[in-house]
A and B are shown apart, each in its own frame.
Chain A
Amino acid sequence: MSDKHVDEISGVPTTGHEWDGIRELDNPMPRWWVWTFYTTIVWALLYAVAYPAWPLLTGSTEGLLGYSSRSEVRSDLAAADNAKSGYMTAIKEKSIDDIIADEDLRTVAVAAGGAAFKMNCVQCHGSGAEGSKGFPNLNDDDWLWGGSADQIQQTVAHGIRFTKDGETRDSIMPPFADVLDGDQISQVSTFVASLSAPVHNASLVEPGKTVFAENCAACHGDNAKGNKEMGAPDLTDAIWLYGSGEDAIAAQVRAPRVGVMPAWDARLGETAVKELAAFVHSLGGGEK
């Protein structure tokens, strides 16, 4: 060992090493520091026993306190569910009309439905429920199958033309390409277009009216106002699912396209369906 060397200026022993005349003072560590250090060691040992710490082959030791972050999340979620259980029970038990009539319940249901909408519906109907060609805009006041809250609930629950659900809303418009000749199709398309907008060839309107009465009125009604019982759209308004104008109408007459909406009852449950219906009803087009 090197000689004991004491620094002349400070009177403190040095570590005995020397680098080009520079020596390191060997001051004792501050007592508070030493005790803090010992405390952390004790703390670490206790912690390793009390909490999950030591890795094992398929997991880790569980610790005496039995703490796990996963169970903490579980209990937090349970607490959150518990906090809103009063509303959830009420929504489950009440009818959609009663829910909408109650301001508090409506607020909760609309918020919950909005969340469910963003998870399940925006893929087709858009994030603002604004729809697109072939997918109805849910903000407007035009409803194929009815816009009252219980009608919306029915549609969400059982879907449209969704064959796996026995109660699904179902209707099909037959293709008229084989039934009507080309002239008749232009005539009836022009007539339908004329119900909501000016048309190019007004001379086709009168003959088209006859074609409409013979072929279309059965479903769409004598006044072309549609029939919500069978999902036949109102042809007199400004809203067109597959495009407006004579050409788009003619294409739809020849070979109609229809959409399919899945049933959500089985997938989301009745409460979520009610919430979705309340949300869609709140968008501005909901009927009484």
Chain B
Amino acid sequence: MQNQDVTRLDAVATNSAASRQPLYARRKKIFPKRASGSFRQFKWIVMAITLGIYYFVPWIRWDRGPFAPDQAVLIDLSSRRFYFFFIEIWPQEFIYVAGLLVMAGIGLFLLTSTVGRAWCGYACPQTVWVDLFLVIERYFEGDRNARMKLDAAPWSFTKLRIRVIKHATWLVVAVLTGGAWIFYFADAPTLARDFLTGNAVPTAYATVAILTATTYVFGGLMREQVCTYMCPWPRIQAAMLDETSLTVTYNDWRGEPRSRHAKRAAASGASVGDCVDCNACVAVCPMGIDIRDGQQLECITCALCIDACDDVMGRLGKERGLISYSTLNEYNANMDIATRSGTCGVTPELVRSPDGTFSDKLAHFHIGKLLRLRTFIYFGAWSAVGVSIAFALATRDRLELNVLHDRNPQFVQLSDGAIRNGYTVKLLNMVPQPRTVVLKLDEDFSGASMTVAGAGATNVLETEVTLEPDRLKTIRVFVRADPKDLPGGANAFEFVVTDPSTGERAEYTATFNSPEKPQ
């Protein structure tokens, strides 16, 4: 036909077969170099604190008297109690734990919107254990270059010995990690003895085995792959960042154009940035990325590249902070200066005065920038939940009362014409001390009296009940009333339980059923 005239367009499908990449990518081994500096120091401290909390908390004792365990933090699944120092939580009070989880969630929003992925970089168990495993690896195999050499070397007795010792040490750490976990669920000294003598429950061994395997695999073998491929947080946290959040940033505006031969370049009259392309930032990165490529999903903001770069800058006699914690706003403002709003490439002369100091037009981060509506809202919500939990916890009842009316029969007529209703009364003594409480009918229910099954109290208005420590007591109570005193049908009244020694009081509105009276 006429297709001779058709113009050929220069269009290529984005997923054309020629350029398609396979979905599977082989892992490239990472050999993070040891960094030193203030952030590395801070990470050591965080590691010591978090691991310390994890390993030692179950061993803290807390005296609760003879009727409750003396472990400060204990999740007692078999008797369904959770102990946290002076707080004891029953299953129906799990709302407090839910509140803590809400706080943790909002707290993470708050943290991320201000200091970026600080959780990932410093406090996440994956990060902490990978750090620990790297310490072990470095101890046995040496730093980056030695490890790379060992890895590339053919198998020999020495290599085998080093590798076996390394993996064995990792496994010991993994076993200790899994082992520490179970102590939160039972009396730690007893369980430790039972565990070592083979007398602990199978669940304990299974839990330790599973956690040993996950710690060893995640911390030793998979490392950065867990963050990159398995963890949802990088995706979620990235969505919470905005242009006023602090992130680890390579400041191109002073680094570019980078040059390995800065002096030679400068001598020949070319303008060069501060980056000497030494790759120290890449070598220390536990994720194996190059921060100079900009913000990346893989970056956990551990700031080790800041330490590495600051060290190099210091040795070259330049200002530290070529890689720094910075917000997108400052970065963009400074890039505008360095590129004349994008009209030219990064030009070092634009950010520096002739005497070599930085231009005073440059934007700098200051702490006040973190105070903005978004962070105030997060902080407000976070503290509102916290204050509510604290208030609820401080004012919660430790004596409770639940009443179930008999389903069948609804009421019973007695030989003297009185009406009797049966109830199952549950008294909750939520403190680890035995106590004697008084159960009574409210005064407004005139003419009524109650009988406690099996206890001997017959037709009384109030009766004492002895409660075991930290237990629920179920009693059967029969209440009788004269129909002449009642309007007929269902009548609401209150069961009241009081502890005379503490003044605690709980009420339950129950129903007393009686025959309908003809109108």
Give A contacts to B, CB under 8 Å.
Answer: 9, 100, 103, 106, 126-130, 137, 139-142, 196, 234, 237-239, 282-285
Q: Are A139 and B409 in contact (CB under 8 A)?
A: yes
Q: Are B407 and A237 in contact (CB under 8 A)?
A: no
In the assembled complex, 9 residue pairs joining A and B whose CB atoms fall closer than 8 Å, in A order, are: A100-B454, A126-B408, A127-B408, A130-B412, A139-B422, A140-B420, A238-B415, A282-B453, A284-B478
Q: Are A140 and B414 in contact (CB under 8 A)?
A: yes
Contact A128/B415 with A282-B476, A284-B420, A284-B453 known, Cβ cut-off 8 Å: no
Contact A238/B409 with A282-B476, A284-B453, A284-B478 known, Cβ cut-off 8 Å: no
20 new A-B contacts at CB < 8 Å, known A126-B409, A284-B453: A9-B17, A103-B454, A106-B454, A126-B408, A127-B408, A128-B407, A128-B409, A130-B409, A137-B409, A137-B413, A139-B409, A139-B412, A140-B414, A140-B415, A237-B417, A239-B415, A282-B454, A284-B420, A284-B422, A285-B412
Q: Are A234 and B415 in contact (CB under 8 A)?
A: yes
Q: Lowest 10 CB-CB distances: which A-B pairs, in order?
A: A128-B408, A237-B415, A130-B409, A238-B417, A139-B412, A142-B415, A128-B409, A284-B478, A141-B414, A140-B412
Whole-angstrom distance between the Cβ of B457 and the nearest chain A Cβ? 14
Which residue of the partner chain, among B413, B453, B454, B476, contacts A140 with CB atoms under 8 Å?
B413
Scan B15-44; emit 1 where CB is below 8 A from any A CB, else 0. Answer: 001000000000000000000000000000
- What separation, in Å, do the CA atoms of A239 and B418 have in the docked complex? 11
Q: Are A238 and B454 in contact (CB under 8 A)?
A: no
Q: Are B412 and A284 in contact (CB under 8 A)?
A: yes
Interface positions, chain B 449-503, Cβ under 8 Å from A, are 451, 453-454, 476, 478
- What separation, in Å, do the CA atoms of A141 and B420 have in the docked complex? 10
- What separation, in Å, do the CA atoms of A127 and B407 have in the docked complex? 10
Whole-angstrom distance between the Cβ of A132 and the nearest chain B Cβ? 11
- What separation, in Å, do the CA atoms of A139 and B414 have in the docked complex? 9
Nearest chain A residue, comparing its CB with the CB of B407: A128
- What separation, in Å, do the CA atoms of A11 and B406 have in the docked complex? 78
Residues of chain A within 8 A of B409, CB atoms compared:
126, 128-130, 137, 139
- What separation, in Å, do the CA atoms of A22 and B476 have in the docked complex? 78
Whole-angstrom distance between the Cβ of A131 and the nearest chain B Cβ? 9
Of the listed residues A141, A234, A284, the one surrounded by the most CB atoms of chain B closer than 10 A to its CB is A284
Of the listed residues B412, B416, B422, B454, the one surrounded by the most CB atoms of chain A closer than 10 A to its CB is B412
Residues of chain B within 8 A of A106, CB atoms compared:
454
Residues of chain B within 8 A of A282, CB atoms compared:
453-454, 476
Residues of chain A within 8 A of B453, CB atoms compared:
282, 284
Scan B406-436; emit 1 where CB is below 8 A from any A CB, else 0. Answer: 1111001111110010100000000000000
Residues of chain A within 8 A of B408, CB atoms compared:
126-128, 130
Residues of chain A within 8 A of B414, CB atoms compared:
140-142, 238-239, 285
Whole-angstrom distance between the Cβ of B186 and the nearest chain A Cβ? 24
Whole-angstrom distance between the Cβ of A220 and the nearest chain B Cβ? 15
Nearest chain B residue, comparing its CB with the CB of A139: B412
- What separation, in Å, do the CA atoms of A130 and B413 have in the docked complex? 10
Whole-angstrom distance between the Cβ of B505 and the nearest chain A Cβ? 27
Q: Are B416 and A238 in contact (CB under 8 A)?
A: yes
Whole-angstrom distance between the Cβ of B146 and the nearest chain A Cβ? 35
Residues of chain B within 8 A of A130, CB atoms compared:
408-409, 412
Contact A128/B476 with A140-B415, A237-B416 known, Cβ cut-off 8 Å: no
Whole-angstrom distance between the Cβ of A25 and the nearest chain B Cβ? 15
- What separation, in Å, do the CA atoms of A191 and B412 have in the docked complex? 26
- What separation, in Å, do the CA atoms of A142 and B416 have in the docked complex? 9
Residues of chain B within 8 A of A141, CB atoms compared:
414-415
Whole-angstrom distance between the Cβ of A245 and the nearest chain B Cβ? 15
Q: Are A238 and B413 in contact (CB under 8 A)?
A: yes
Q: Are A239 and B413 in contact (CB under 8 A)?
A: yes
- What separation, in Å, do the CA atoms of A142 and B417 have in the docked complex? 11
Contact A128/B406 with A284-B422, A284-B478 known, Cβ cut-off 8 Å: yes
- What separation, in Å, do the CA atoms of A38 and B98 have in the docked complex? 48
- What separation, in Å, do the CA atoms of A137 and B411 have in the docked complex? 11
- What separation, in Å, do the CA atoms of A151 and B65 have in the docked complex? 47
Residues of chain B within 8 A of A128, CB atoms compared:
406-409
Whole-angstrom distance between the Cβ of B515 and the nearest chain A Cβ? 11
- What separation, in Å, do the CA atoms of A140 and B418 have in the docked complex? 10
Residues of chain A within 8 A of B17, CB atoms compared:
9
Interface positions, chain B 39-95, Cβ under 8 Å from A, are none
- What separation, in Å, do the CA atoms of A142 and B420 have in the docked complex? 13
- What separation, in Å, do the CA atoms of A139 and B416 have in the docked complex? 14
Nearest chain B residue, comparing its CB with the CB of A9: B17
Whole-angstrom distance between the Cβ of B488 and the nearest chain A Cβ? 16
- What separation, in Å, do the CA atoms of A284 and B423 have in the docked complex? 11
- What separation, in Å, do the CA atoms of A139 and B453 have in the docked complex? 13
- What separation, in Å, do the CA atoms of A215 and B451 have in the docked complex? 39
Whole-angstrom distance between the Cβ of A137 and the nearest chain B Cβ? 7
- What separation, in Å, do the CA atoms of A273 and B45 have in the docked complex? 72
Residues of chain A within 8 A of B422, CB atoms compared:
139, 283-284
Residues of chain A within 8 A of B407, CB atoms compared:
128
- What separation, in Å, do the CA atoms of A100 and B416 have in the docked complex? 26
Nearest chain A residue, comparing its CB with the CB of B17: A9
Residues of chain A within 8 A of B454, CB atoms compared:
100, 103, 106, 282
Whole-angstrom distance between the Cβ of A113 and the nearest chain B Cβ? 14
Residues of chain A within 8 A of B412, CB atoms compared:
130, 137, 139-140, 284-285
Whole-angstrom distance between the Cβ of A284 and the nearest chain B Cβ? 5
Whole-angstrom distance between the Cβ of B226 and the nearest chain A Cβ? 22
- What separation, in Å, do the CA atoms of A128 and B422 have in the docked complex? 11
- What separation, in Å, do the CA atoms of A130 and B406 have in the docked complex? 12
- What separation, in Å, do the CA atoms of A128 and B409 have in the docked complex? 5
Whole-angstrom distance between the Cβ of A138 and the nearest chain B Cβ? 10
- What separation, in Å, do the CA atoms of A142 and B414 have in the docked complex? 7
- What separation, in Å, do the CA atoms of A282 and B451 have in the docked complex? 12
Of the listed residues A127, A140, A142, the one surrounded by the most CB atoms of chain B closer than 10 A to its CB is A140
- What separation, in Å, do the CA atoms of A130 and B421 have in the docked complex? 12
Nearest chain B residue, comparing its CB with the CB of A106: B454
- What separation, in Å, do the CA atoms of A106 and B407 have in the docked complex? 22
Nearest chain A residue, comparing its CB with the CB of B412: A139
- What separation, in Å, do the CA atoms of A158 and B18 have in the docked complex? 95
Nearest chain A residue, comparing its CB with the CB of B483: A238
- What separation, in Å, do the CA atoms of A129 and B407 have in the docked complex? 12
Residues of chain A within 8 A of B413, CB atoms compared:
137, 140, 238-239
- What separation, in Å, do the CA atoms of A286 and B322 have in the docked complex? 90
- What separation, in Å, do the CA atoms of A127 and B451 have in the docked complex? 23
- What separation, in Å, do the CA atoms of A127 and B478 have in the docked complex? 19
- What separation, in Å, do the CA atoms of A203 and B345 have in the docked complex? 124
Residues of chain A within 8 A of B417, CB atoms compared:
196, 237-238
- What separation, in Å, do the CA atoms of A140 and B421 have in the docked complex? 11
Residues of chain B within 8 A of A238, CB atoms compared:
413-417
